[in-house]
Every structure is written in structure tokens, then in C-alpha cells.
Amino acid sequence: MSCKLIAYIGGIFRKGDATSLLLQDILGYRPVHTDYYRLALTHRSVMQEDPKGHRINNERLEFLGDSVLGSVMADILYEAFPNQNEGELTNFRSRLVKRETLDKLATDIGLDRLIVAAQHYPTNANGPKIHINGNAFEALIGAIYLDKGYEQVYRFVQRLFKRGYLNMNQALQDYNYKSRIIEWAQQHKYQYEFDLIHSEVNRTNNTTLFRTRVLIEGKRLGEGEGLSKKQSEQMAAREAWETLQKANGLPPDSPTEQ
């Protein structure tokens, strides 16, 4: 980050104020370069720009934090599960860093109370998930990395596990509903299809809403919406799996995710 950009963001978390104290409680230490953290908590809906017209928001830090968080989780899982193969470790990591998990994590630790976003912007409460909170958490990881380095990110994530905000066992019991549907259909030699039936661009929020349905032997078993095709498929697959459970008495932990 350039010095001019840091200066333009303006101010720092004032020592002793409520925002500073909450951030320190979340991090477990006092930040050095506080402007990284301020940037991490600035959503693009605020529409701030620097003197050169470059937008000031947390998207670049989110990109960085996503990669760093993935590496840290890989380190932690590699040590925690010495007998698991690559595919299993990859699935474990995907469950721990998926958007829904990070959304909840950000809310649980109080990060959502620090995010600066336009009042009109949709929240995570209802409908398809916008993931403001989870994205800000990834941006926070990016800020920690730039401020304190990889080892501090590792300690921060380990602290979240120790304090119960992340739960390894709970994460490993999560399921991929699309994989369940595919495995169940193949097991019974049924034809299945994930059919994208609608997509609509919301220019106000610069988002695209996708709607997918799941067909088994030509019969619709579920529909779902999401802000990506993959998310809409998962939501549709979840409804389809719940339909199959009710009709066939399927246990909640059957079959195994691929």
C-alpha cells in the first residue's frame, strides 16, 4: 500500500476508543499499522476514492487474505491429521474456509460491528448471502499478514480454535449436498441433472442471482438460489437431499462426501 493511500484513508484507530479496544480483543494484540485494518473493514459500497480516483475498499486485502488463510489452514490440518490423504485434507480445508463458515465466524467474534458499509447495502440476514462479513474476515487476515507476517496469522487462527470460534470436529462433519445427490443417484443408477433455470443481474448491488433446480429421472426434487452458480447448486441440492430424506428415510450422514 502506498504512503499516499495510507494517508488518504485518514486517521487511525484512536488509542483507547471502543473501536480500537474491540479490534484488539478480536486480534489478541495491538496493531502496528492500523491503516491496514481500517482498509480491511471498508466495504466497496462506501465508494471511497483516493486523489487519483482509485477506489478504497477491502477487496484487494480479501484476495490476499483468502490465499494466506488457505495456507494457514493447510499447515494446521497437516499437523492435526497426519494419516489423511491429500483429497481428504483438501475437503477439510474447504469446509473450514467456506463463505458460510467465515460469515458466522466474523459475526461470532464481533467483526461485523466494525465493518463500514453503505446503509442501503443488503446484509447477510435474509435471502442469498452477500458475504460482507466473511469477506471482511478474509481482508482482516490480509491486514494481519501485512502488519505482522505469516506467523501472526497462524497464531491468530490457532487462537480462534482454542477459544471455540472454530471447531475442527464440527467442520469435518459438514457435508457437500451436491456430492451427496450425485453419489446417491449413481448408486441407484438414476439420471440426474443440475439445471440452471435463471440468472438475473442486480445493477444496484452489482451482483448476479442464479437459480438452479435438481432433476432426478426428470422429476424436480429441489430448487435453490445463490450469488454464484455453485452456490445455487448447493442450495438446490440441499433441498433435494431433504426431499429424499423425507421420502426414503435416509440417515443425515449418508452417504460420504466425495
| Beta carbons of 212 and 232 less than 8 angstroms apart | yes
Is-catalytic flag, 59?
Answer: no
Are the C-beta atoms of residues 187 and 180 closer than 8 Å to each other? no
3-state SS class at 13: coil
Annotated catalytic residue: which of 50, 59, 66, 183? 66
**Which one from 62, 103, 112, 138 is the annotated catalytic residue?**
138
State how far the alpha carbon of 85 is from the alpha carbons of 78, 82, 89, 94, 243, in Å. 10, 8, 6, 14, 33
For residue 153, which phi and psi values (nearest 5 degrees)?
-60, -45
Please tell me the distance from the alpha carbon of residue 65 to that of residue 1, in angstroms, as a whole number. 15
Question: Would you state the cell numbers that stand for residue 74, as one nine-digit string?
Answer: 493447510
- CA 33 to the chain's CA centroid: 25
CA distances 86 to 77, 90, 92, 178, 246, Å, are: 11, 6, 10, 21, 34
The rounded distance, in Å, linking the Cα atoms of 194 and 239 is 13
Query: Dihedral through CA 69, CA 79, CA 166, CA 73, nearest 10?
Result: 10
Q: Cell digits for 202?
A: 442486480
Q: Are 221 and 244 in contact (CB under 8 A)?
A: yes
Known catalytic membership, residue 223: no
Active site residues: 66, 138
